[in-house]
Structure 1
Amino acid sequence: MQTANRLNGIGEYYFSQKLREIGELNKAGKNIINLGIGSPDMPPHPDVIKTLQEESAKTNVHGYQSYTGSPVLRKAVSDWYKKWYNVDLNPDTEVLPLIGSKEGIMHICMTYLNDGDKVLVPNPGYPTYTSAAKLAGGSPLYYDLTEANNWFPDFEALEKVVKEQGNIKLMFVNYPHMPTGQLPTKKAFEAVVAFARKNNLLLVHDNPYSFILNEQPESLLSVEGAKDVVIELNSLSKSQNMAGWRVGVLVAAKERIDEVLRFKSNMDSGMFLPVQLAAATALNLGKDWYDSVNSVYRERRKKVFQLLDMLQCEYDTTQAGMFVWAKIPSTYTDGYALSDKVLYESNVFITPGGIFGSNGNGYIRVSLCAPVEKFEEAIKRIES
């Protein structure tokens, strides 16, 4: 049986492959320390787990749920956006809960892309932007993000791309940026909205990292008039330590919600209600929750800085998110070479920056999602 043509050029996700390799190394007794993947290792707040336990014990919560999500969760999202981002959202028409924000990327591509439509994708950037665009029939056009430009788009260069290529429909942006940890600025947000408006593009802002090691969470929707051209994705995976719960959200103008829902409602039958209610509890947590999570990440980041110093890498100490992005020494050909050396000689896995695009080839990325003791052990192994 042949696979569909849409899978041509779509390889297995890098981490899926690498985890299999690490599994084989562990079977051989290597005991690999995995510092590659950003899967939070801390639990959600106890009140979140309590809500799930209490609600799931009820007899009337186990049926199919609304395609648009629980009103309780939509209201919690709306309140959360107002409190932290100062963005007004109508919970009934401008909020769409998702089974993880990753599915939202696919939903958006399937909703708006026809065969041959072009999509602006950041380089470096999240690989799913590329694969989702291709699966929907779109054609990725990579726009450069460079350290020299503080990992922001070069809008002069982008204007030339638009004139040369035409037929560009979507543009993915992501700040705080993954993998570089670059924080957004008001000026950059205003510039990207103006660019989208001028060129009739739909901006997709992927915003799961805004609370991690960042005191000023920002939403692209805070820019005046942004709802005209922006769909924003957000997630409870990182900030609320709920990655395995698969709870995300798409926020946008009513017209965009209605359009995406035409596709999404044919793909799933809603999210388990107790999970939605627990998510609402998580969104109602106060500043002390975010402070407690970030205090842990700060201690871990100190250890990562120490590890990177040993590897003679360069890095920005102000980057946000649950990773540290670092430039490799010139003695290595690329991040893959350094990653492999550390893996095979020290039994520690760190991510090569090249998996995020060609502009990441000279970099590595280290996850903060491991206890301090793991980082200390990794440092000992690399040192020896």
Structure 2
Amino acid sequence: MIFHEAARYAHVQAAFSETRTMYRKPPIILAQLLQQYRYWRGKILRLLDIKGRTAWLYSPDCQTHFAGSLHPESPERTEAIEQALRRSGLWLLLQKIEAPDVTEVQLARVHTRRYLNDLESRLPAQGQVQINDDTFLSRHTLQAARKAAGAAVKAVDMVMRKQAKNAFCAVRPPGHHAHADKASGFCFINNVAVAAMHLIAEYRLERVAILDFDVHHGDGTQDIFADDPRVMLLSSFEYPLYPFAEGELPAAAGRNPHIVNTPLKAGDGSQAFRDAVRNRWLPALEAFRPQFILLSAGFDAHKDDELAHLRLTEDDFEWLTKKIMLLANRHAKGRIVSVLEGGYHLPSLAASAKAHIGCLVKASPFF
């Protein structure tokens, strides 16, 4: 009898213990759910906080510059980039900002008044006016160029004021061949130069770096900053190729010791490009300690671009962007503004720019 009672008691005790364990589980599950809720709530709030996102600077006016139906620098270039971003989902993560006009004061820091007046006087009522071998003015060219420069200025303002983590300026016409007093190579106003001088004049920065990875040398930018050691210019490019023929590549003349040219030869690909960045660019940047990094983002060194003969892929542009971002985090508080230059094969331009912008977007606190 006693044995049976003990057995029954043991059975009841086991059932009670099981019930008690069962009622312990919900608090554990609730704690896990609460942890997940807090995690995703934080992610969503950071996503909704546009100040932590990459800015996309654009202007409808930039699409009105038309150099001719056969000219490679066409409105379809920025459209191709936008479509690639939309398809990838990155488009939803960008804050879209329409560019203002650049001001006369901002232009005057880089370009001569005589040059700007000359461009104004040559604007055609219709069609195109040829400025030189490959550079054409149309009725809306200067308005497009002013918006492109205005986008670069607005972008650096947003990053400096912590209204954006970084920025990409989807603008045209490009700018890095534009000199202080002349247009060339599809370029009229030097967008990155205007942005660099704005940083120096308005924010009192002492060290601004411009990294130009377009397949063509940034000759206009080099000329503008040849005597200004506050600006570092790193330019990788195919040589010989426009703007230089064989034997024409000049040394970095002037008093600026921070101009680093890394010419590549036709057929060079990832290895040569990455070696140049590792061995020349990164050590120079570490020594310079830039307070802000501007990118002349040309994607025409891609192997599919028919205007040149280098063999880069979108993976190389992604690799470079990651390297630059790490360095910017060390020295420049992560401050980067990228401004579109070249890239004329639409599929490779779109893929390369998407890879580049994808890296910038991933600097957001959301990731």
Instruction: State the TM bucket, normalised to the shorter chain.
Output: 0.3 to 0.5
* Structure ID, larger Rg: 2
Larger relative contact order (Cα-Cα within 8 Å, sequence gap ≥ 6): 1
